[in-house]
Amino acid sequence: MTTTWRHLPAPAREIARAATDAVAAARVRDTEAYDEAADRLAGADRSGLVLGAVVRLLLEETHPDGLDGDDVRQVLESCVRGAASWQPDVDPHVVLVLLAGALGVYDPGDDPTPPDPAALARHAPLLLADLLAASALEGPPAAPDRPLDGLLTAAFAEIRRTELND
């Protein structure tokens, strides 16, 4: 692919920038920067679609042989435990919904308390930051956005392909 997300239309760039800012803030546990970036994500149309695609791509990269129940539990526990020390409102149910949604096994109609889009937007960067920290994809500290940039670019390309084929 010769194009990155930085050449996409303004709404897509805003989602990518907000996601990048939120993940960067999560990595350094900067509550103020995180809140601002998560609010931008929550207000961006289709951010959930993009974040879900990035989570799925990262799960595929970090678990090339697939995920089983133990893997999902491990990812869930790692994210929630890591975030709880600086984001006391982290909700394990919302993180589980993000994981199940990214894996294509979540039906909001079967959930008596489905999270709202704002909650999903607040939790997705926590999950992404945790997955990036646990992955071999994580770059050197001087280039923390490198792996996320590639994942965002791939997610936008995949979304575009899907929309063109539908």
Dump pLDDT digits (tens) for 46-57.
Answer: 899 999 999 999
The model's confidence at residue 140, banded by pLDDT at 50, 70 and 90, is very low
Give the helix/strand (H/E) hosting 35.
helix 31-43
The model's confidence at residue 142, banded by pLDDT at 50, 70 and 90, is very low
Q: What is the mean pLDDT of residues 103-116?
A: 92
Task: State the pLDDT at residue 136.
Answer: 53
Q: What is the mean pLDDT of residues 23-42?
A: 96
Show the tokens assigned to 98. Answer: 């993000």
Least confident of 2-6, 46-50, 127-131: 2-6
Question: Exposed e or buried b for every residue in 80-115, given b needs 16+ CB within 10 A?
Answer: bebbeeebeebeeebbbbbbebbbeebeeeeeeebb
Q: What is the mean pLDDT of residues 36-43?
A: 96
For 135, residues 6+ apart whose C-beta sits below 8 A from its C-beta are: 58, 61, 62, 147
Nearest one of 156, 155, 162 to 60, comparing CA atoms: 155
Nearest one of 34, 40, 22, 65 to 152, comparing CA atoms: 22
CA–centroid distance for 128 within its chain:
4
Return contacts of 75-80, CB within 8 angstroms, 24+ apart: 75/99, 75/127, 75/130, 75/131, 75/134, 78/130, 78/134, 79/126, 79/127, 79/130, 79/131
Task: State the pLDDT at residue 115.
Answer: 95
